[in-house]
Amino acid sequence: MLKKAILVLAIFALATTAFAHGDMEHILGTVTAISDHSLTVKTPKGEVKEVEVDKTTKVVRAEQGISLSDVHVGDRVVIHARRHDEKLLAAEVRLAPQNSAPARH
């Protein structure tokens, strides 16, 4: 029960941060696939969104810059993205704190 409460608080903290970027689209969810140029995220509503990443995409966990290679399937994220050529391009990928991410087996 305590783990669920911590997870919910972490998600709300990420969602609150998401609204600080007014002109961007915000994608909240769980990473389901990763490639060299994109992340696929499943939202709480069950939508699947593919978001492109490039060398300018900032990746952050607990206010620390990390590499895209540190992102794993199952991580919970908030992505701030802009529409570019009919696609979403991530400006920032924020990961939930490690203690709230699902365990990897």
Q: What is the CATH number of the domain that holds 12?
A: 2.40.50.140
Instruction: Tell me, yes or no, whether 105 lies in a domain.
Output: no
Show contacts of 19-27: CB within 8 Å, 24+ apart: 21/80, 21/91, 21/92, 23/82, 24/80, 24/81, 24/82, 24/91, 25/80, 25/81, 25/82, 25/83, 25/88, 26/78, 26/79, 26/80, 26/81, 27/51, 27/77, 27/78, 27/79, 27/81, 27/88
Residue 18 has pLDDT above 50, yes or no: no
Confidence of residue 98 (pLDDT cuts 50, 70, 90): confident
Instruction: Tell me, yes or no, whether 39 lies in a domain.
Output: yes
Confidence of residue 13 (pLDDT cuts 50, 70, 90): low
Q: Which residues pair with 79 in a beta bridge?
A: 27, 93
% of the chain at pLDDT higher than 70: 72
Find the domain containing 19 and state its range: 2-100
Residue 1 has pLDDT above 70, yes or no: no
pTM of this prediction?
Answer: 0.72
pLDDT value for 5? 45
Residue 25 has pLDDT above 70, yes or no: yes
Determine the average pLDDT of the residues in 26-30.
96
How far, in Å, CA of 67 to CA of 70, rounded? 5
Q: Give the total number of structural domains in the chain.
A: 1
